[in-house]
Amino acid sequence: MSKPEDSGSSREAAAFERLQRAVIRLVKALEHAQQRLDEAQARVDKAEERNSEMAEMLQQFTDSPAVAQDIVGRLETLERENEDLRLRIDRGRAGVERMIARIHFLENQG
């Protein structure tokens, strides 16, 4: 027959183990998100470099100011979309950081 203290101790151990598994899953998810963020940033940097090169070529090869204006407009649209994506990534990162802070809090409570 188990003692009441043993029951409480095993519940705490089980809860701690669940918390550890949750932390491990969260850390893996964070690492995956960071990897995706790094890959996205690399694509953004490469796109910005191409845009800069394209703007230089535009100045040399565009016969019609209307065509140049259309291209510049599209570039501006892409830049706005890019900024929106960066803001979303930042909000996602902030959410992950809040979850990590909560986990640290829960760890310190145990």
What DSSP element (H or E) covers 63?
Answer: none
Structure pTM? 0.45
How far is residue 7 from each of residues 2, 10, 14, 76, 108, measured CA to CA in Å? Answer: 7, 5, 11, 64, 22
- Whether 81 shows a pLDDT value over 90: the answer reads yes
pLDDT recorded at residue 48: 77
The residue with tokens 């409570």 is 109
Q: Look at 42 and 55; give whichever has higher pLDDT.
A: 42
pLDDT recorded at residue 1: 42
Residue pair 107/21 in contact by the 8 Å Cβ criterion: no
pLDDT recorded at residue 75: 81
Least confident of 12-16, 28-32, 64-68, 100-104: 64-68
Classify the C-alpha dihedral 70-74-79-81 as positive or negative.
positive
pLDDT recorded at residue 7: 67
Could you read off the pLDDT of 2-17 as tens digits, one per residue? 454 566 788 888 888 9
Secondary structure (DSSP) of 7-51:
HHHHHHHHHHHHHHHHHHHHHHHHHHHHHHHHHHHHHHHHHHHHH
